[in-house]
Structure 1
Amino acid sequence: MVQTLAAAGGLQRDLQRELTYDGLRAVEAKGNKGGRRPAVPAAKAEAVRTAYLEGRSIAALARDHQVSRGAIRTAVADLLPDYTAAAPGAPAPETPVVLDMPGKVADFLRAAELDDAERASLDEGQAVRRGQGYTLRATAVPAVHRQLLDRCQVLDSTTAVPAQRKARREYENRVNGLAAHPES
């Protein structure tokens, strides 16, 4: 009974997430931008930027405009010394995602030759007990998960144990699910 309730809760959470992202995509398609409005309106932003370039401090600007220092920093973010702009048209950096890797796949990969990023994701992964086996909860960018999946390609051959083939297919489904759900 508890498993049934947990499954229903998971289904409800997935449905709610999908509806939320559908709504965000619809708003974006209309040309609107989601999120909170800036504390420094566009009309005042240019004056704040000019004053900052003239040497006024962030704290003084915040007092003058009655907003937080963070709001002023946001308005002048590209003028700050530690600002690094992304190149126009450059893809956004991939954010790390957490995937559960079957233990049979993790054991195979631990014995394989891996590069530093792949090895780090395996070493930093958290083992979660599952019956007689385990699952490795690995955090890495999707590209590293795809590389790990490619490295365990031999588990899909006929010489591999059926349990290993199944474990690899399960991991492949999870990695391929990243492309279908980029918000994960």
Structure 2
Amino acid sequence: MLDAAGAHDVRDILKELDGVTADVAGQEQAPEREQPHTIDVPGLLAEHLNATEVAEIREVLRGGRRIRRGQGYSVRVSAPLALHQAVLKQCAALADGGSTPAGRKAYRTYADRIAAVSTAP
């Protein structure tokens, strides 16, 4: 009579529920956050970025560690690669011909450091 009513054995129901919970658990996992990369930002770029409107960039620079290098300095910043690329875009004005040679060199140096990290395995 139970078979005619569509009743199931408890073990069958548990097997069905076990499969459903495994599917739901696989769908609810949050995507992995991008790992932070530590890259030195030349001081000339850091000074240029102090006036930027992007608060996230200013916060990252404030949290960085200042490292003395010869006559200048660098700011060691640990951030996701996407943020480093956004910082580089903010400094694009220093890469054009109207900038000083030191500004162009600082931009190239930072771009090279980002490229080295992005191509590393």
Sort the TM-score into its range (normalised by shorter chain): 0.7 to 0.9
Higher RCO (C-alpha 8 Å, min separation 6): 2
- Distance in structure 1 (CA, Å) of the matches to 2:80 and 2:28: 21
2:97 is paired with a residue of what secondary structure?
A: coil
- Distance in structure 1 (CA, Å) of the matches to 2:110 and 2:51: 17
Structure 2: runs of 5 or more not aligned: 1-21
Pick aligned residue for 1:172 from 93, 111, 114: 111
- The percentage of aligned residue pairs carrying the same residue is 36
Give the TM-score of the pair, scaled to structure 2: 0.72
Counterpart code for 2:51: A
- Distance in structure 1 (CA, Å) of the matches to 2:76 and 2:63: 9
- Distance in structure 2 (CA, Å) of the matches to 1:100 and 1:121: 12
Q: CA deviation at 1:86?
A: 2.5
Q: In proportion to residue count, which structure has more strand?
A: 2
- Distance in structure 2 (CA, Å) of the matches to 1:162 and 1:97: 27
Matched, 1:105 2:48: no
State the partner residue of 1:154. Answer: 93
Q: CA deviation at 1:104?
A: 0.6
State the partner residue of 1:94. Answer: 34
2:73 is paired with a residue of what secondary structure?
A: strand
Q: CA deviation at 1:85?
A: 4.8
Pick aligned residue for 2:56 from 107, 117, 126: 117
Q: CA deviation at 1:120?
A: 1.4
Structure 1: runs of 5 or more not aligned: 1-78
After TM superposition, which residue ranges in structure 1, 4 or more long, deviate above 2 angstroms? 84-87
Q: CA deviation at 1:112?
A: 2.0
Counterpart code for 1:101: V
Give the TM-score of the pair, scaled to structure 1: 0.49
Pick aligned residue for 2:66 from 127, 136, 141: 127
Q: CA deviation at 1:130?
A: 0.7
Number of equivalences: 97
